[in-house]
Amino acid sequence: MANPVIVLDYDPNWPELFRSLRKRIADALGNMAAAIEHVGSTAVPDLPAKPIIDIDVLLASETMLPTAVERLASLGYIHQGNLGIAERE
């Protein structure tokens, strides 16, 4: 049997958690990051959600991807490719 999906009531701490994660990511990537955005259900105020902070990182150039992957790995993030979605990376 698969693990059940856990959905929680909105947590007002989610935006602050994102800001903390964004700072760590921004510090690691420097000027490589054109944007770091909070996306997904935890980004929507008052919406119940899975307690996972989804983050999109837009790089200034596609050529920076290998270096960005390496720097994010040093923070504990795992690169999973495009997950089957063309041009996702």
Domains, the chain, in order of start with CATH, read 14-73 (3.30.460.10)
pLDDT of residue 87: 79
What's the predicted TM-score (pTM) here?
0.88
Q: Determine the Cα–Cα distance for residues 20 and 59; give it in Å rounded to an integer.
A: 19
**pLDDT tens-place values along the chain, 89 residues long:** 688 999 999 999 999 999 999 999 999 999 999 999 999 999 999 999 999 999 999 999 999 999 999 999 999 999 998 888 887 77
Residue 49 and residue 24 in contact, taking contact as beta carbons nearer than 8 Å: no
So what's the pLDDT on residue 1?
63
pLDDT for residue 75: 98
Q: Spell 1-18 as b/e; 16+ CB within 10 A means b.
A: eeeeeeeeeeeeebeeeb
